[in-house]
Amino acid sequence: MADKKIEEIGKVRLDYSRYPGNDFYSEGKMEDELLEIAMNRTAAEYEDIIEERRVWPVLYHLSPLRENIVDWIPMDKGCKVLEVGSGCGAITGALSRKAGTVTCLDLSKKRSLINAYRHRDCDNVTIHVGNFKDIEPELPGDFDYICLIGVFEYGRAYMGGGNPYEDYLKKLMGHLAPGGRIVIAIENKYGLKYFAGCREDHLGTYFSGIENYASGGDVRTFGRGGLENIFERCGVEEWHFYYPYPDYKFMTSLYSDEYLPKKGELFNNIRNFDRSRMLLFNEKNAFDGLVEEGLFPVFSNSYVAVIGGGFDTKFVKYSNDRAPEYAIRTEILSGWTLDGARADVVRKYPMSSAADAHVRGMAAAYESLRERYKGGELTINTCELARMEGQLFAQFEYVQGVPLLEVMDACLERGDVESFRRFFREFLKRAGYNSGYPAADFDLVFGNVLIRPQGESGSGNGLSESEGAELSLEGNGGSGGASSEGASSEAKGSALEALLRGEWTLIDYEWTFGKPVETKLLAFRAAYWYLLEDEKRKKISLDWILRELSMTEKDVKDFWEEEGEFQRFVTGKRSSMAEMREKIGCRVMNPQDWLDRYQDSEDVNKVQIYEDKGQGYSEEDSYFVRDAYQGDWLIELELKVSGEVEMLRIDPGMYPCMVKIAEMTFNGETVCLHRRKMLYANGRIVKPDEKEHRDHPSIIFPTEDPNINISLKGLKREAENTLRTRIEIVRLPLSMAQDLM
């Protein structure tokens, strides 16, 4: 008789021996849909399904970009991995490909089935279904990696007690092999996106983490200091922090304390796939300031905290939102040059065998570009193919220097437009050398060119990227630090000249084609994307670029056609993450628009009262009623009126509108149309002959000065009188009000 506590789906083994019999967490019908997809569709179809369904759960659970968060970790087939909270298997496949065995834990049977069906061909995956506290005692103590991806924040729900996170971590540490590591991916509760208006991921509320979860709940994310405090209380001796950007869910870049982001790099910040968000400020500009102040680790949106030894990898960039044949991973790491020296190197890996040819093409591009620029003033960064443990990669020298993009930004920030133009012309000259040669880097943008100032030598002695433009353009001042304005200007000019005459190196030439491309089109492309990326670069107009390059309308049209073809070529017509966000339909709400509308409402949502005591209306005898508007569509008034007043005029707003007088009484007596000359207006009364409209008239005002006039002569008046009215009001465009008239 088969053991009902064990189920096999393909090569995956599910263990239900600790399953309590029901799932305590479920996304309902969406999980049924995901299970149907996992059972009947292949992973190769997931991208198309994501495009078709356009909903957050399908994107979140099935996107291959989810795997980026563990793909960079250097596991091998000798590794044993424990994945806690494996869910629907978003990263299980990546772990299975990298490691020898993968043991998964998850509380949900439905989610574990989804995981098993989508990875049914993996013969090294076992999934334990049930509560962590029930399964944990039976786990072995020799895991090389324990992965908690979006899981550690649920420690209170898993463990209970007064110190749930410490208790949770201590139990996990007991299952590590000597030298093993725990990998925690988690949101930073002080991540910049939450200050900027993203909702807290788990609660769906604004500022919950920033406010230290004052409203309660079982989920807790932490800042870096909070995590480090937990580690210390657990007796952890070594840990390392990495910074996934934009966040750990759909990471495109990973930084480290040894390689932090540079100014201008963090511009992909609109991260709201599951719900609407506010946009309280420009996150790119805020990140630029934090980078300058050295505060990025405090405000990174997410963390990858590694308990145990660190890695040689300092930086990772993923370009796997492309067509499969161009999907690659780029790393900067402490490694070995191909001549055997220990040094930082840059490596580009294919994300699958489909991209092998693309990586091989980089070495061929190096040879062809080096031949083209021989005798010119643009150096091509060296590239050689290599293979390690069966993995093909292209290896480049890690070049020190100042990115041309940073230098040009620094010129504009100082208002030195002329220096910007000089660097652009120098770029044009160097990039355009030997332009008839059948080799051109189509992506020869400013960020791919590094400058080593004249006089600097050796890859280890150039200015670092983070110091680059500041040191180079400011100069070192005069003797003893006391420099006159003239001396500073001279030093600045000297620094600029050193950069202009320095060694310029093209460090990345992934998109090199074996044909000549007009230099003006390459330069226009570089300038266009440069200006588009940052609104602060508007000091340089695209018109100046067009004039400088002698671009005609036909040239621009040709550029757009070629650029469109290039983008389709690279992406394979897949939607970018930004496009997917738009398709899912989550709003980005700008409170400044609300404030502007509110200010506009304050200016026009005013009720002005005029009193005629026998001398006609006058501004001097008028006044405004505060708080008359009860929202945007309802006016409620209670006016005390002197017995001397013969006529009363109510101006309900300062805009064309339509109003309905829902109620109007004077000393309790209804003011209505059937008493001739009691009520009239400078608009048109709708259907004045029908009784309902006589008692509660609607009036169209095709004017920005609507007014309702009430004659009090025919009404019983006392020394002090009371007028009460409720007026429903709707703003109209002037043209619509005129048409209604």
**In this structure, are 417 and 345 located in the same domain?**
yes
Say what the pLDDT of residue 472 is: 41
The per-residue pLDDT for range 16-58, each reduced to its tens digit, is: 999 999 887 778 899 999 999 999 999 999 999 999 999 999 9
Same domain, 137 and 171: yes
Token pair in block for residue 582: 């738009």
Q: Are residues 620 and 731 located together in one domain of the fold?
A: yes
Q: Could you say which of 273, 288, 313 is where a domain stops?
A: 313
- With cut-offs at 50, 70 and 90, classify the pLDDT of residue 471: very low
The residue among 253, 288, 313 that closes a domain is 313
Q: Is residue 25 in a domain?
A: yes
Look at residue 710 and give its three-state secondary structure: strand
Q: Indicate whether 433 and 355 sit together in one domain.
A: yes
Range of the domain at 702: 597-740
Total tally of structural domains belonging to the chain: 3
Query: Sorting pLDDT into bands at 50, 70 and 90, what band is 459?
Result: very low
Strand partners, 256: 242, 259
Residue 289 maps to a domain? no
Percent of the chain with pLDDT over 70: 92
In the prediction, which pLDDT does 462 show? Answer: 32
Predicted confidence at residue 489, as pLDDT, reads: 61
CATH number at 549 reads: 1.10.510
Q: How confident is the model at residue 490 (pLDDT cuts 50, 70, 90)?
A: low
In a domain, 649, yes or no: yes
pLDDT tens-digit map of 578-636:
888 888 988 889 888 777 666 667 777 889 999 998 888 888 778 999 889 998 899 99
Count CA atoms closer than 13 A to 209's CA, side-chain side.
Answer: 29
**Cis status, amide bond into 178, omega within 30 of 0:** no
Q: Which of residues 24 and 248 earns the better pLDDT score?
A: 248
The answer to whether residues 569 and 667 belong to one domain is no
pLDDT in tens, 420-451: 999 999 999 999 999 999 999 999 999 999 99
pLDDT band at 467 (very low <50, low <70, confident <90, very high): very low
- pLDDT score of 454 more than 90: no
For the cut 70, the answer to whether the pLDDT of residue 482 exceeds it is: no
Q: Is residue 481 part of a domain?
A: no
Same domain, 306 and 329: no
Shared-domain flag, residues 361 and 411: yes
Residues 609 and 709 in one domain: yes
Residue scoring higher pLDDT (38 or 4): 38
> Is 80 part of any domain?
yes
Q: What is the per-residue pLDDT across 672-715, written as a single tens digit (0 to 9) for each? A: 765 556 788 899 988 766 666 667 889 999 998 999 999 888 78
pLDDT at 469: 37
Same domain (yes/no): 702, 663: yes
What sign does the CA torsion over 153, 156, 162, 166 have? negative
- In tens, the pLDDT along 114-163 reads 999 999 999 999 999 999 999 999 999 999 999 999 999 999 988 988 99
pLDDT digits (tens, 9 = 90+) for 498-528: 999 999 999 999 999 999 999 999 999 999 9
pLDDT value of residue 488: 59
Average pLDDT of the chain?
A: 90
pTM, entire model: 0.80
Instruction: Retrieve residue 234's tokens.
Output: 């657990």
Q: Is residue 246 part of a domain?
A: yes
Residue by residue, DSSP assigns 388-404 as ETTEEEEEEE---SEEH
Residues 659 and 566 placed together within one structural domain of the fold: no
Between vectors from CA 297 to CA 293 and to CA 302, what angle results, nearest 5°?
Answer: 140
C-alpha angle 395-401-403 in degrees, rounded to nearest 5 = 95
- Is there a domain that residue 288 lies in? no
Nearest to 149 by CA among 106, 195, 180: 106
Report the CATH number that the domain containing residue 235 is assigned in CATH: 3.40.50.150
pLDDT of 407 above 80: yes
Contacts 24+ apart (CB under 8 A), 325-332: 325/354, 325/355, 325/357, 325/358, 325/572, 326/355, 326/358, 326/570, 326/572, 327/351, 327/352, 327/354, 327/355, 328/355, 328/358, 328/359, 328/510, 329/71, 329/72, 331/72, 332/259, 332/398
User: Among the listed ranges 17-26, 188-197, 305-314, 434-443, which one has the minimum average pLDDT value?
Assistant: 17-26
Per-residue pLDDT of 494-505, as tens digits, reads 888 999 999 999
Measure Cα distances from 527 to 136, 376, 414, 452, 470 in Å: 57, 22, 19, 21, 22
Q: Which two tokens stand for residue 219?
A: 């989920």
Residue 506 lies in a domain: yes
Identify whether residues 340 and 305 lie together within a single domain. Answer: no
164 and 40 in one domain? yes
